[in-house]
A and B are shown apart, each in its own frame.
Chain A
Amino acid sequence: MLTQPTTDKILLAIADDLNSVVLPSVTDEPAKVLLGQIDQLLRRLSRRTGSEINWMIEEIKKINAAIGRDNTEVGSYLLSDIAAAYSEASGALGDAIDQAFEEGDSEQLDTLREVLVDRIAVEQEILGQLDLVGRG
């Protein structure tokens, strides 16, 4: 397969063309709003697609360390497999959060919260600037 240009670059090119070529020729207001949403989504997807598998694998390791669980290899680099493993680890993290709150274990809560804060940092990197396209 041809890997270059990578998916993130192609998505950016599509977003740029939609913005500079398609959008100026559109007069229908709902269609303009939709194009604005598509533009933002494509730019976020461009930021996300290059790194999401690595982000999930790294966060699974952090979660396992925080909840005292051994790391196991996912055994596949398919996006669906990694996402399933990430969701499972997220569920285990949620269980640990509930338990720490119930037990009033503030030290463990601080540790678990750090994992969430790191997750949010990644999410913000993907999100970029928020523009509530279509709201008054």
Chain B
Amino acid sequence: MQDPSVMPEKIKALLDSEGATDIVVSEYAPMTGGYSRLMARFEASFTYDGIAEEGVFVLRGDPPEGQAIIETDRTQEFSVIQSVSPYLNTPAARFLDADGVHIGTPALIIEFTEAESTLPWIEENGISDLPTKLAELAGAMHTIPVEQLPSSLARPVSGDPLTDQIQLWKQTAMSHAEHLPIFRYVAAWLDKNRPPAVPVSLVHHDFSTANMMVDEKGDLVVIDFELATVGDPREDLGYFKAYAQAAPPDLIDEEPEAFLNRYREITGFSEEQVNPLVMTYFLVLGVIGVVSQIANVGSAMAKGETASTNIAFNLDNLLFGQAAWMAATDALEAALDGEVN
């Protein structure tokens, strides 16, 4: 996917297999910003379903075997994007090479968006009304009817998403290449301090400014559903806050009440179900999906089964996470003990 001299022909072959005609592909160029997948943008014109189209697209495919820091499925990502597109501001998924027959690796083609990356947009325009827009985006995502989501999307095995996630913390601690006592502390702490339940919904699982852009209307565009599952929607709020600690600003913290009020209004959740303390709880709980994947591939590298700079780099980021999780449990302990409000 990194070779611009061969990729246009491969993309043509994929579009041709999907029934497109009059295909012209040009300006193929690898992109940065894809954390776990290879990405490239290209221009294309073609006729599909009798309609002539012309535009910029993104090819998003799996890296060579053994080099992915996270193992996910392009077919599922494609079907998730298609199912959430009617509800969310997200670039449409257009074509899929499920087995990599044409592209050389499993890949999908998504429409390119001219929207700007969130952090540079904030640097230029300030926070503006992004906290409210974020609440609306999260609310929209978390109220998509679960029956509209692909049946292949993982559901809580135990029937309770919190139990599943806490179990994943324990499992990650026990199956890593070395013992992880901080993970075990966090798992036990999360189990002891469960908040009131809410109905399950789509969970993005990498809900962060890295996966959001701001369009010309100032609305947030959400991308990258490769880690999505059905689970506790508050995992996304916690993950957002956790990520913002490493890459500020935290849009929720900018206007917490405005954010929470709007989010509760859209989802119908109560103050007991979603409040600052509950969000801090999920700041810890909500990261385990990504963290377990990073830890697993790190274990594989420790065992000599794979190796890359990216894997080692992301493992180091767990050190930052460990400090953040312990600080969060500390703050929550104090709050639950009535030491702070």
Binding site for B on A (CB under 8 A): 28-30, 32-34, 37-38, 40-41, 44, 83, 86-88, 90-91, 93-94, 97-98, 101, 112-113, 115-117, 119-120, 123-124, 126-127, 130, 132-136
Contact = CB atoms under 8 A, between A and B. Distances in A.
25 contacts: A33-B32, A37-B313, A41-B312, A41-B313, A86-B178, A87-B179, A88-B179, A90-B178, A90-B180, A94-B185, A98-B184, A101-B188, A101-B189, A113-B326, A116-B181, A119-B181, A120-B323, A123-B322, A124-B323, A132-B247, A134-B32, A134-B33, A135-B247, A136-B209, A136-B210
Given A29-B30, A88-B179, 17 more contacts: A28-B30, A29-B32, A32-B32, A34-B310, A37-B313, A40-B313, A40-B316, A41-B309, A41-B316, A101-B189, A116-B185, A116-B326, A119-B182, A123-B319, A127-B316, A132-B246, A136-B119
Contacts of B154: none
B317 A130 contact: yes
Nearest to A122: B319
Nearest to A113: B185
Nearest to A135: B210
- 8 closest residue pairs by CB, A with B: A91-B179, A90-B179, A87-B178, A101-B188, A94-B184, A123-B319, A37-B313, A94-B181
**Which of B182, B317, B323 has the most chain A CB atoms inside 10 A of its CB?**
B182
Contact of A117 (B173, B180, B326): B326
A134 B192 CA distance: 36
A34 to B, nearest CB: 6
A97 B319 contact: no
B35 A135 contact: yes
Interface residues of B, number: 37
A136 B185 contact: no
A132 B181 contact: no
Nearest to B247: A132
A24 to B, nearest CB: 18
A97 B188 contact: yes
A133 B247 contact: no
Nearest to A91: B179
A61 to B, nearest CB: 15
A127 B319 contact: yes
A116 B31 CA distance: 40
The secondary structure that dominates the A interface is: helix
Nearest to B38: A30
Interface in B190-227: 191-192, 209-211
Nearest to B187: A98
Given A97-B184, A127-B316, A34 B35 contact: no
Given A41-B316, A44-B316, A116-B326, A29 B31 contact: yes
Contacts of B119: 136
B85 interface: no
Interface string B310-332: 10110011011011001000000
Nearest to B323: A120
Nearest to A120: B323
Contacts of B165: none
Given A90-B178, A94-B184, A136-B210, A123 B323 contact: yes
A69 B178 CA distance: 20
B209 to A, nearest CB: 8
Interface in B98-148: 117-119
Nearest to B120: A136
Contacts of B310: 34, 37
A88 B178 CA distance: 8
A97 B181 contact: yes
